[in-house]
Copies of this chain bind each other. A is one copy, B any other.
């Protein structure tokens, strides 16, 4: 592997569970700093009902104000047709849809069965296609569910293929609660890649148990080349008790830099974005690289 894509999900997945409501100007500044750091794919917000995710209530105002750099995609999560209509209204460049491989998690997360959510996704993608808006898919709890425990990898493979079949250009196979080890990555990727092309598969690890980088190492053996992360390791999940944030973008980029794998992202500039986010949230984020001294190997 010579080059990977990193999808920075901090402005959406990183912020959505923060009680501290971040002012729109701070979100715009955060997205600007991430753009400056070199990310080419940034998940900027979510067109979800404010009742469910108060942090994203400003999505319609925020999105048009993002200073968009040519060559950078600013995407947004869309849970339903209503959200999609708003997304179209404000000119969203790319959307993401989501469902889970666990019926229980899906019920708790979005109050729908998996089949019902697939029907919603189909309607959303139909609208997206009319506007030539590409759709990414998220598949939650692929490595374990807080309610159902073990998840059969065959179901992960089938639903990944289903989302691609419905029109997703890529599916982010997600470890929502950060429970996976490289053994699970083996098991799940073998199943998923038996039904889908590797170019259409991304991975999304939360780092609850510190295994995210080890999992990503394992995924490189399968030629997976797209990984989600969040600046500073921000995030969590209200429907996944105890889940920590996404793997920290800093830690991931430090890993790839050391392995000679190109990301196109400046670690130093990324740290500025994360330190800014810390100052806004008034909390210390979990990234280890963010709070470690500069590597003496650089001198």
- Give Cα distance in the complex from A297 to B188, angstroms: 14
Q: Are B181 and A257 in contact (CB under 8 A)?
A: yes
Q: Are A296 and B146 in contact (CB under 8 A)?
A: yes
Q: Residue A242 at the B interface, CB < 8 A?
A: yes
Q: Residue A288 at the B interface, CB < 8 A?
A: yes
- Give Cα distance in the complex from A213 to B184, angstroms: 15
| Nearest CB on B from A143, distance (A) | 8
Q: Residue A244 at the B interface, CB < 8 A?
A: yes
Q: Residue A178 at the B interface, CB < 8 A?
A: yes
Count identical subunits in the complex.
2
- Give Cα distance in the complex from A184 to B296, angstroms: 14
- CB-CB under 8 A from A147, the residues of chain B are 296
Q: Are A144 and B297 in contact (CB under 8 A)?
A: yes
Leading 4 A-B pairs by shortest Cβ distance: A181-B258, A210-B288, A242-B293, A183-B259
- CB-CB under 8 A from A257, the residues of chain B are 181
- CB-CB under 8 A from A208, the residues of chain B are 288, 292
Given A181-B259, A214-B214, A292 and B251 touching (CB < 8 A)?
A: no
Residue from B210, B216, B255 in contact with A287 in the complex, judged by beta carbons closer than 8 Å: B210
- Interface positions, chain A 181-213, Cβ under 8 Å from B, are 181-184, 207-211, 213
Residue from B182, B213, B254 in contact with A258 in the complex, judged by beta carbons closer than 8 Å: B182
Please name 11 further chain A to chain B contacts, defined as beta carbons within 8 Å, in addition to the given A144-B297, A211-B255, sorted by A numbering.
A179-B296, A181-B254, A181-B258, A182-B217, A183-B258, A209-B288, A210-B213, A210-B251, A213-B213, A214-B217, A241-B293
